[in-house]
């Protein structure tokens, strides 16, 4: 499973791509606790840095261009568990998200 994070730092905003094992259940939704997809690659265990930006909008644009993330689907950190829970309760649909919208197309660059 992959998800994108935009993280503020003192002087910029960093864009990270996280690739984790889909190890959740209805009672375990904390994506931050999921094991990395490749446990032998410590460099990406906490996310792969895709880039930095000086302001949040530029960081969102970079994330969208690099990962296929969609503007209308960004959520706050504390909401992502709820979104994942909806995905799990819907039976982990492969063709579309629980709200019926198709999954984003991920660029080949990743």
Strands 48-53 and 13-19 turn out to be: antiparallel
Average pLDDT over residues 62-85: 86
Q: What is the mean pLDDT of residues 77-96?
A: 83
**Exposure of 50 in the CB half-sphere (CA atoms within 13 A):** 26
**pTM for the structure as a whole:** 0.78
Q: Which of 12, 7, 16 is nearest to 46 (CA)?
A: 16
The radius of gyration of the chain from alpha carbons, rounded to an integer in Å, stands at 14
Rounding to the nearest 10 degrees, give the CA dihedral for residues 47, 104, 81, 32. Answer: -10
Residue 98: pLDDT band by 50, 70, 90 thresholds? low
Q: What is the mean pLDDT of residues 54-78?
A: 89
19 has pLDDT over 80? yes
């Amino acid at each position: 499973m992959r998800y994108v994070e935009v993280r503020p730092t003192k002087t910029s905003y960093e864009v990270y791509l996280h690739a984790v094992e889909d190890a959740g259940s209805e009672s375990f939704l904390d994506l931050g606790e999921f094991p990395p997809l490749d446990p032998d690659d410590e460099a990406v265990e906490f996310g792969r840095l895709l880039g930095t930006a000086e302001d949040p909008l530029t960081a969102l644009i970079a994330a969208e261009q690099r990962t296929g993330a969609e503007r209308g689907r960004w959520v706050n950190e504390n909401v992502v568990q709820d979104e994942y829970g909806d995905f799990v309760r819907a039976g982990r649909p492969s063709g579309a998200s629980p709200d019926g919208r198709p999954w984003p197309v991920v660029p080949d660059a990743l």
